[in-house]
Amino acid sequence: MKARVLILGGTAEARRLAESLSESWDVTTSLAGRTTRPRDLPGRVRVGGFGGGPGLTRYLVDEGIAVLIDATHPYAARMGWNAAAASQEAAVPMVRLERPPWEVRTGDNWHCFQTLSDLVTALPRYGAHALITLGGADLAAFAQARTTRLTIRAIDPPDPPLEHPNFDLILSRGPFDLHGESTLLSERGIDMVVSRNAGGEKTSAKLDAARALGLPVLMLQRPRRPETDCVDTVDDALAWIGRRVD
């Protein structure tokens, strides 16, 4: 019988890890259920919250999970804390798989913010028309930015719906390239980019376009995480699992 691994997912890395492990492990990927069109995954899939750290602890014990991988998105602020607590309580080894953040490069004009509310307050200092690339959730704070024009790009529409007098919505999953991003910024007269430090290559072209056009980037920093074993690639996660199981 194969040993069971639970991957807390919702990212491309979680999918790739599930694909790599599915031959030799009994893989379950857990999704929060936020995305309306999740892609197919190998192995078992469960959807919805566990009921906090205690709920996840119960799940690990009841399902006989041998290894836990937290591969949730860098901006999923809560699940990592639940996972770290449950891993300790249930004595199930855990590793965090998190892609490295983007680094500032020569010519960049980044302004970093720890909270979304500070970022929204600062918008008028940097421009008049912002490209917002923060996903569709948690955009309610932009209701305060009434004098700033917004172009919001997300996979799903804002939920809850955004109350703002002057915004356009672009629904798109990416990946995006430099030509497309430069055209979007220039043709729409966008003069600042609002981004999270997601890392990876799929959505980094907006930063190259902003650099080329001399536009400021307002960067929302990643949330704080518990101290756990941490790797930044799928290969390193596989090596970590190999070491723990030997």
Binding residues (CB under 6 A) for ligand NAP: these are 8-11, 30-32, 34, 49-52, 55-56, 72-73, 75-79, 82, 135
Q: How far apart are the first and last CA of the chain?
A: 16
Would you say 149 or 198 has its CB closer to ligand NAP?
A: 198
Q: What b-and-e string marks burial along 171-189, b requiring 16 or more CB atoms within 10 Å of the CB?
A: eeeeebeeeebbebbeeee
Number of C-beta neighbours around residue 117 at 10 A: 11
The answer to whether the CB of 205 falls within 8 A of the CB of 180 is yes
Would you say 173 or 188 has its CB closer to ligand NAP?
A: 173
Nearest residue to the partner ligand NAP, using Cβ: 49
Nearest distance in Å: CB 44, ligand NAP:
13
Would you say 8 or 210 has its CB closer to ligand NAP?
A: 8
Nearest distance in Å: CB 212, ligand NAP:
26
Q: Quote the CA–CA distance of 10 and 72 in Å, as a whole number.
A: 6
Q: Quote the CA–CA distance of 135 and 152 in Å, as a whole number.
A: 9
Nearest distance in Å: CB 54, ligand NAP:
9
Would you say 46 or 188 has its CB closer to ligand NAP?
A: 46
Structure tokens at 73: 């998105």
The answer to whether the CB of 26 falls within 8 A of the CB of 43 is yes
Helices (H), 24-144: 52-62, 79-90, 116-126
Backbone angles phi, psi at 171, to 5 degrees: -95, 115
In one letter, which amino acid is 242? G
Nearest distance in Å: CB 138, ligand NAP:
8
Nearest distance in Å: CB 65, ligand NAP:
13
Would you say 127 or 136 has its CB closer to ligand NAP?
A: 136
192: which strand partners?
A: 130
Nearest distance in Å: CB 222, ligand NAP:
10
Structure tokens at 165: 């007098």
Would you say 127 or 135 has its CB closer to ligand NAP?
A: 135
